[in-house]
Every structure is written in C-alpha cells, then in structure tokens.
Amino acid sequence: MELNFKIEGGNFSGAGSASSEVKKTLKQLGVDASQIKRIVIALYEAEINVVAHAYRGQIGVKISADKIFARIEDEGPGIADISKAMQEGYSTASSKVREMGFGAGMGLPNIKSNVDEFDIQSVVDKGTVLEMTFYLA
Amino acid sequence: MKISDIKELVEGKVANNGVCSENINEIKHAFASDLMSDVLRLRCENTLLVTGLCNVQTIRTVEMAEIKLIILARGKKVDANMLELAEENDICIIETDFSVYKVCGLLYQNGISPVY
C-alpha cells in the first residue's frame, strides 16, 4: 500500500495531518501500537520540518507486511551542514516555529532515534530528501 | 488518578466533556513541557501533559505521543480547531488558571509520579 501527501510550507495549522492519516491507516491495518508510535513520531517531526523550513514538500509512505518506508522530499533552502543539524540543540528555526512548540533542535535527533534506517541528502537552495525505514518484525 | 479527581485538584474546567467522561485510563504519570519535541521523546503510558502551549500542534503532538489528557495551565483556553482535533482523537483537555509549577506540585503531592 502506498500513501502520498502534499505539504505546504508555513501552514502550521495543517501540520501533522499527513502523519495523522498514516497513523489511522496503520491502526486499521493492525500494526502493533509501539511500532505505530515510533513511525508517526518520526514522520510528524519530519512533517514539521517541511512546514517550518521549506516552501513545499511531499511525503510518500510505502507500507508492506515487514516494513514501512517513508520518503520526505522538499523544495526549500536545504541544510548547509547536515552534521550540525543532527546535533541536539542546533536549530535555524524562526520565532514562529518556536511559538508552535518546536525549533529547539530536537527534530532530526528525534527522528533518528525512532528509525531503523535513515538517510538524509540536501542541496542548499534546492531542498532536502529524507528517507526512513522501519522494520516491523 | 481519575480525570474527575485531577479536575478537582487543579480547580479546572473540562473543555470537552464527552471525551473526558469516557474510558480514559487511570493517570499514573505527568510530564510538563512547552517544547513539543521533548513530549515526543517520552516512552511512557498513562501519562498526562501539563503545558501552557495552546495551539493545534499541542493536540497533534499528544495524538502522536499517545497521551490522552492535557492540562492547559496559566489560564490558556482551547479554540474551536483544537477542540475538533481533540475530539477526533479522544483527547481530554482540562483548563486551569494555575501555573504549570502549581499544577505539577499538586499532582506530585497526590501520587502522580514523574516520567523520569
């Protein structure tokens, strides 16, 4: 099964609706609750990142019996220094993002701690691609 | 601790009675934060969130973190969008004029333990 969502940069009121849909689908499919939690937390942080930093983006989620694969691709400023962005506490978020309860430099570290495989590629002034794999076994 | 007892303790008002009166598990732990990424790091069941952050992302965050009760402190009031999202996801909200510190103190005194 494959799910696809478009994400609008700056739309904080809608942020999280894609992750919420994925959560509902995984629940309907009978995926274990602890697995669902780590998948949707990583996905939600990634979705917030797109809303917070990019102009627009898309999320694709492939669900199979043994694993979930998610690809989050955005058009935006990109990440100049990925190793810095992976450090807890490092953030380039705006005050608007902080008002929403995010932007403390915990997003990417939170994502990494919930996934089994993780890859991030970014080009400055172009965008970022994040791929995450979760094994269900 | 039951939701009705928590409401009394913080002299709060339930924002969505329908959800709150239904079967929400007994609360054993509490976590207080205005930073939602810290809430998303919790690994704990039967936990409530005490926060002064009052927007749609507060609700989205507890939805993802599987938290079923929010205490909105410092006199913050939910809006219609938050209420709609909370009802869709069976999340109970209690509003109180007390500060986060006071709410936490009362909960601690009454046997609600910290997450860590």
**Strands B113-114 and B92-95, sheet pairing:** unpaired
Q: What angle do CA A100, B39, B86 make, to 5 degrees?
A: 65
Tally the domains of chain A: 1
CB contact under 8 A, B64 and A106: no
Q: From its phi and psi, is residue A132 left (phi > 0), alpha (psi between -120 and 50) or beta?
A: beta
Question: Region A30-49: what's the mean pLDDT?
Answer: 96
- Six-digit token string for B27: 């609360």
Convert B75-84 to b/e letters by CB count within 10 Å (16 or more is b).
Answer: ebebeeebbe
Contacts of A15 in chain B (CB under 8 A): 56-57, 60
Domain limits at B45? Answer: 3-114
Domain limits at A122? Answer: 2-135
Tally the domains of chain B: 1
| A56-109 pLDDT tens trace | 999 999 999 999 999 999 999 999 999 999 999 999 999 989 999 999 999 999
Facing B57 at nearest CB: one of A101, A106, A107: A101
Question: Region A14-30: what's the mean pLDDT?
Answer: 96
| B21-66 pLDDT tens trace | 766 778 999 999 999 999 999 988 899 999 999 999 999 999 999 9
CB contact under 8 A, A44 and B40: yes
CB contact under 8 A, B63 and A20: yes
**Lowest-pLDDT range of A22-26, A56-60, A70-74, B1-5:** B1-5
List the single best residue of B31, B36, B68 to mutate versus A (max A Cβ within 10 A). B36
Residue B55's pLDDT is 95
Whole-number Å distance between alpha carbons of B78 and B54: 7
- Six-digit token string for A39: 């998948």
The ipTM (two decimal places) reads 0.92
The CATH number for B40's domain is 3.40.1390.20
Residue A120's pLDDT is 97
